[in-house]
Amino acid sequence: MLGLYLHVPFCSSICNYCNFNRGLFEPALKARYVEALELEIRSAGRGAAADTIFFGGGTPSLLEPEEIGRLIAACRDVFTVTPDAEITLETNPETSSDARMAGFRAAGVNRVSFGVQSFKSEELVRLGRLHSVARAREAVRESRRAGFDNVSLDLMMWLPRQSVLDWQESVEALIDVDPSHASLYILEIYPNAPLKDTMARAGWSQAPDDDAADMYVWSLGRLEAAGYRQYEISNVARAGAESRHNLKYWQDGEWLGFGCGAHSTRGGVRWKNVSATEDYIRRVFEARPLAVERRALSARERAEEALFTGLRLAEGVDVAAVGARYGQDTWSRFGPGLAPFITHGIVRRDGDRIRLTRDGMLVANEVMSVFV
Ligand code: SF4
C-alpha cells in the first residue's frame, strides 16, 4: 500500500526557527498551486492502492475545506484509496474554527495533527508562533466538536530559556488535553535561523545538554504512565493511534509525494520534486518534468536505508529479514559496527532484532552512522 503525501508550502508568517520548504501565504498563488497540485495528482499513473493521505507543510490548514476535498477526490479518482484510509491534515491552531474543522471533516480528513509546540505563552512568543495557549486548547476542542477522535499534538523541547520544569508543565498540559498521539521534537537551531540572532541579541540560551536528555527521558516515562506507548524516537500514541502514514517512512514502505519539494520512494527509486513554488506550478502547467533528483538505489543502499530508518522504531528492526529482502549479508557487514553499542547497552539485541534502548535513543545518530 502506498502513502500519498501532499505538500502545501504556505504559512501566515514564518517562524524564526523554521527550515521547511514554505513561503508566505498569498491567496492568488495558493489558488494556482492547488490547481497545479490537483493536476499533478491526476497525471500520476492510475490504479495503485493507497491507504494514507497526508497533507503536510507549511500550513495545509490554510487551504479551504473545499480545496482539501478536491485534492482528496483527485487522490481517490487516480488511486484505489482504501475506504478506511488515514487522512491527516497538519493544522496550526490559529487557522482552526468550528466551521473550518467541520468542513475539513466533511471533506474526508479523519486525523488532525496540531502544531502546538508549547503550552507556555512566553515560549510561543519566543518562537514567533501566531497562536496562544488558549487558542491551541480551543482548536483541539473545535476538532473534537467536528468529530475528530484521532488528534495529534506536536511539542518542542530544548527551547531557548526553557527549563526542565517548563517542559514538564507543557507535557502535563498535553496529557490534560488528552490527544491520541503526540510528537516530541528537540529544537534544532540551523546556522542561518533568525532565532539564532535573536537569541544572541537577547542573551537567551538553551539548557545544558544533560537537561535536554533529562527532558526527553522524563517525558517518555511520564507519557507512558499516562497510557501512551512510545513507538518511535519522537512519537507516542494510544494503542492503535500510531501514524500509519509516518510508519511507512520507518518500515521500509513506499510513498508518492505531490507538490513542491515533495519526495517519493517507489520500487527502489527515489525522487524529489523541484522545491520553488512558482517553478513547480509552471512545470506542472507546461507538462515539464518535476523531478530534480532521481536515483535508483542499489540493493545494498536499500538495505542500509531500511536498517537506518527501522532503528528509529521502538520495536527496532530485524537485521536478518532486511538482509533477506535485499540479498545482503547484513550481519556480517554491520555486526562488527553494532557490537560496541550492544556491549554498552545502547542497542539491545534479541535474536536477529535490534532496537535502541531509551538512553540509546539519545545517541541514535551515532548508532545509525553504522549503516551509512
Ligand atoms: S508554521 Fe511550520 S512550516 Fe510554517 S513557518 Fe512555522 S514552523 Fe515553518
Provide the residue-wise pLDDT of the chain in tens; the chain has 372 residues. 999 999 999 999 999 999 999 999 999 999 999 999 999 999 998 889 999 999 999 999 999 999 999 999 999 999 999 999 999 999 999 999 999 999 999 999 999 999 999 999 999 999 999 999 999 999 999 999 999 999 999 999 999 999 999 999 999 999 999 999 999 999 999 989 999 999 999 999 999 999 999 999 999 999 999 999 999 999 999 999 999 999 999 999 999 999 999 999 999 999 999 999 999 999 999 999 999 999 999 999 999 999 999 999 999 999 999 999 999 999 999 999 999 999 999 999 999 999 999 989 999 999 999 998
Alpha-carbon distance of 172 to 28, in angstroms, equals: 41
Residue of minimum CA distance from atom 3 in ligand 1: 58
Residues with CB under 6 A from ligand 1: 11, 14-15, 18, 20, 22, 57-59, 92, 115
CA of 214 to the centre of ligand 1 (A): 27
- Asked if residues 267 and 331 have their Cβ atoms less than 8 Å apart, the reply is no
Residue 12: all three cell numbers together: 501566515
Atom index in ligand 1 nearest the CA of residue 17 equals 7
Which ligand 1 atom sits closest to the C-alpha of 18?
8
Q: Helices then strands (H, E): number in the chain?
A: 15, 17
For residue 99, count other CB atoms closer than 10 A to its CB. 11
Which residue, 325, 296, 305, 311, is CA-closest to 353?
311
Q: How far is the CA of 83 from the centre of ligand 1 (A)?
A: 31
CA of 11, closest atom in ligand 1: 4
Burial of 185 (0-12, 13-18, 19+ CB in 10 A): middle
User: How many A from CA of 117 to the centre of ligand 1?
Assistant: 11
**CB atoms < 10 A from the CB of 10, how many?**
20
- Report pTM: 0.97
- Residue 37 in contact with residue 88, Cβ under 8 Å? no
Which one of 7, 8, 20 would you pick to mutate in the ligand 1 pocket, going by the greatest count of ligand atoms within 8 A of its CB? 20
